Chains A and B, each alone.
Chain A
């Protein structure tokens, strides 16, 4: 019997058409459904983490609020804006690809990559800050220091319109010596929110048991709950950052292909699919930001 090539030659004139497809429309539809299915499973993947977050926030809201207060909402907010803008440049990439305008495509992809890199850079700043202040939840993974150096101000940002009270300012602006010989997780910022909750009577049943030993507030037990928050914070943002890195690699490939002029009105599906992925990574961050960074802000009365 003859080889398969003869029977299928007539398909190869369409640019980028894979051999298993009859026509471009089928290929594009397939790739599109494939990408959506992939994104659905990514949602389920992050879903497990969101579930864990929900369970522990439900149980220990004050510990979560305290931990959240010491994430820098300025950097987080900046990252949110950066990603939203990068989604805009991504959408424009798709637009210009459709139009076949090569130079604009390349510029837009480059901008998208720039914003993605800025995002990762900011994350590096944030993670370093946590490292310097003993907020990485794994023993031994924080900066080891005997206190000889005075630590930088522990970062905690309050929006200008928030009423600053003593509770909000706890631990802010003061220079405290950072003593952490073994690089342990340390929580040195008190528990003003717990005290407020105690007075206001809105501690949860779990909190009433698990923050206290023999009726007295136990800072170590509380620290362990805050450490849970930071664990979830690092796993969620870390996994997200990993997806961001993959996104940048995808963009690099796309940049190369766009530079070669591969995309036009006839064939721009890879750009669209990459766009879907990029938007997805953006949306995950849109959920992460308020859940992780903006907790307990309204408790600052």
Chain B
């Protein structure tokens, strides 16, 4: 039986019953209302999409080893980068942390039994699958070659590819995103346990609240845009084709109105993870809690005002360009504040070098580079030279891969013991973290240089003088690829043969650590009553540290 004192589960033990054992049939998984099962199904699905997006990336980098189009024909290359973008952005990056870690942890962190609307959660999953299958089907049939940005009139009138099918897949997937955001907002408002006030919430929750605001407000706009694109393609009439008086720039405005905030949907949850990891692995309260919380909201709000910075050379007026540049500078400041706060958190902490912390430290460096190069691109005069070159490619990979993917990996490794009840191999965890960090920098740093030299993006062939840096980049990509594949192996292995982790292997104060690992279906035996602030380490918060130190190393089966 579970320990009578539910807040002191410090013994490493392997529980017999958990959400994983509560029903083994397919039906119990496909018709589940359990947020944890849904999170797991999301985890597997997005990993599949990540793998496919990664294969396209491999094709791209291999082709770019040589200046000519010798490995792939231009037509194939164009599809490769388009599909790499679509799969990675819509089917991996946007859902990743919210749908897996957010779904799993939000109720645990606030002391609830489940999300507020579990059936809506299941619907989100199904919409994700339907959108994904439709998109994959279109990809199998021949794919799209418009770039993930679907600029018109190429995508409405000139492209000979499956734009409509992929567009519909993205449309359906968009509603998956909207419903997830809706669910989180409701949950955070109404499902908090007694005593869990807003300012006692973990910053992971604040981050997801901000993200959900963006999901709800922004995604419908891209939904209607993609719908109009599909209609225009099918019936050959519409508002984006200049031949009938339509406006291709209108498409860009509508598209980027969502797609810029979308990048904040991607990074805000990652920042939430980093707040958790740095604070917990320094065993120190996060520095400037309120500032981090409010800067998340500020990023979400200001993120809606800067979409024009994707259109500086598109033909919008100089004055529009200046306004968007100014606002872009403003939105950079909250992110800077966060980086300073995270660093300050480590001051006088007790820092352990576990894998999640290594990823988090890597995040700090890489996100810093990514964010700073964002300033380069936000500065109008400079960006005219840099737009549509590899500088942009390098920038967004630094923030999306160096930022978001690394934060995602940090989160997966951090909460793995909670989700599965097992520990993975620390050695292999550290090795892959190093490989990812080194491989990533080798892949993308040369691209900044290539960009300034003028190498345009989406080029299958390029002038020979760009080859050397491209070779470095591809070499790095192979290292990065290995580093990213390794977790698949050792994490899967840990499920079968990993050491039992115990309910709270690192003795952390968060509510999610005060329940079983893996949790039971309804999470907590009794609804917790919260009487402590966030990130308070130490004995007075019910953590039996001495006991933990004594019993570390002797697992008990109950």
- Bound together: yes
- Contact of B217 with A by CB under 8 A: yes
- How many A residues face the partner with a CB closer than 8 A? 45
Say whether, besides A19-B113, A231-B238, A45 and B522 are in contact (CB < 8 Å). Answer: no
Cβ contact of B178, chosen from A1, A4, A19, A41, cutoff 8 A? A41
Instruction: Tell me whether B225 and A55 are in contact (CB under 8 A).
Output: no
* B250 close to A52 (CB less than 8 A): yes
Is A166 part of the binding interface, using a Cβ–Cβ cutoff of 8 Å? no
Nearest B residue (CB) for A18: B118
Contact with A along B32-69 (1 / 0, CB 8 A): 01000000000000000000000000000000000000
Inter-chain contacts of A227 with B (CB < 8 A): 237, 244
Alpha-carbon separation in the docked complex, A185 to B181 (Å): 42
> Cβ of A52 and Cβ of B244 under 8 Å apart?
no
Q: Is B224 touching A45 in the complex (CB atoms < 8 A)?
A: yes
B248 on the A face (CB < 8 A): no
Complex Cα gap A210–B242 (Å): 11
CB distance from A185 to the nearest CB of B (A): 8
Q: How many residues of B contact A (CB 8 A)?
A: 53
Given known pairs A40-B217, A41-B219, A228-B239, the reply for A1 and B186 (CB within 8 Å) is no
- Which residue on chain A has the smallest CB distance to residue B225? A48
Asked if B186 contacts A33 (CB within 8 A), the reply is yes
User: B244–A48 contact, CB under 8 A?
Assistant: no
The answer to whether A139 touches B182 (Cβ under 8 A) is: no
Q: Which of B73-104 contact A (CB under 8 A)?
A: none
B220 proximal to A (CB < 8 A): yes
Residue pair B115, A1 in contact (C-beta under 8 Å): no
Q: Which of A204-253 contact B (CB under 8 A)?
A: 210, 221, 224-225, 227-228, 231-232, 235
| CA of A72 to CA of B181, assembled, Å | 40
A22 to B182, CA, bound (A): 20
Q: Are A49 and B224 in contact (CB under 8 A)?
A: yes
Contact with A along B5-35 (1 / 0, CB 8 A): 0000000000111000010000000000100
Q: Which residue of B lies closest to A221 (CB)?
A: B245
With contact pairs A7-B522, A227-B244 given, residues A138 and B235 touching in the complex (Cβ less than 8 Å)? yes
- A48 contacts B15, C-beta separation under 8 Å: no
**Does any Cβ of B come within 8 Å of A30's Cβ?**
yes
Cα–Cα distance between A19 and B244 once the two chains are bound (Å): 55
Distance in Å: Cβ of A209 to nearest Cβ of chain B: 11
Given A47-B221, A227-B237, also A1-B116 (CB < 8 A): no
Task: List the B residue with the shortest CB-CB distance to A232.
Answer: B239
CB pair B220 A47 closer than 8 Å: yes
A227-B236 Cα distance, complex, nearest whole Å: 12
Verify if B117 is at the interface (C-beta below 8 Å from A).
Answer: yes
Cβ-defined contact, A1 with B16, below 8 A: yes
Question: Which residue of A is nearest B516, CB measured?
Answer: A1
Complex Cα distance A26/B245, Å? Answer: 52
User: Are B522 and A4 touching (Cβ within 8 A)?
Assistant: yes
Question: B residues within 8 A CB of A210?
Answer: 245
The verdict on A37 contacting chain B, using a C-beta distance below 8 Å, is yes
CA distance A185 to B118 in the complex (A): 48
Mask of A131-175 contacts with B, CB within 8 angstroms, 1/0 = 000000111010000000000000000000000000000000000
- Whole-angstrom distance between the Cβ of A102 and the nearest chain B Cβ: 27
Q: Which residues in window 479-537 of B have CB below 8 A to A?
A: 520-522, 525, 527
Query: In angstroms, how far is the closest chain B Cβ from the Cβ of A115?
Result: 27
Contact between chains at B522 and A1 (CB < 8 Å)? no
A29 contacts partner chain B, Cβ-Cβ < 8 Å: yes
A161 to B122, CA, bound (A): 56
Closest chain-A Cβ to B20's Cβ sits at a distance in Å of 13
Residues A1 and B2 in contact in the complex (CB < 8 Å), given A30-B117, A41-B178: yes
Give chain A nearest CB distance to B528 CB in angstroms.
12
B323–chain A nearest beta-carbon distance, Å: 18
Given known A-B contacts A1-B16, A48-B225, A228 and B190 have beta carbons under 8 A apart: no
Task: Give 21 A-B contacts (CB < 8 Å), ordered by A residue.
Answer: A1-B1, A1-B15, A1-B16, A4-B520, A8-B522, A19-B113, A30-B116, A33-B190, A34-B116, A34-B120, A37-B216, A40-B216, A40-B217, A41-B182, A48-B224, A48-B254, A55-B247, A56-B239, A138-B237, A231-B238, A235-B228
The 8 closest A-B pairs by CB, nearest first: A48-B224, A45-B220, A20-B114, A44-B220, A30-B116, A138-B235, A1-B17, A30-B190
On A, residues with C-beta under 8 Å from B are: 1, 4, 7-8, 18-22, 26, 29-31, 33-34, 37-38, 40-42, 44-49, 51-52, 55-56, 60, 137-139, 141, 185, 210, 221, 224-225, 227-228, 231-232, 235
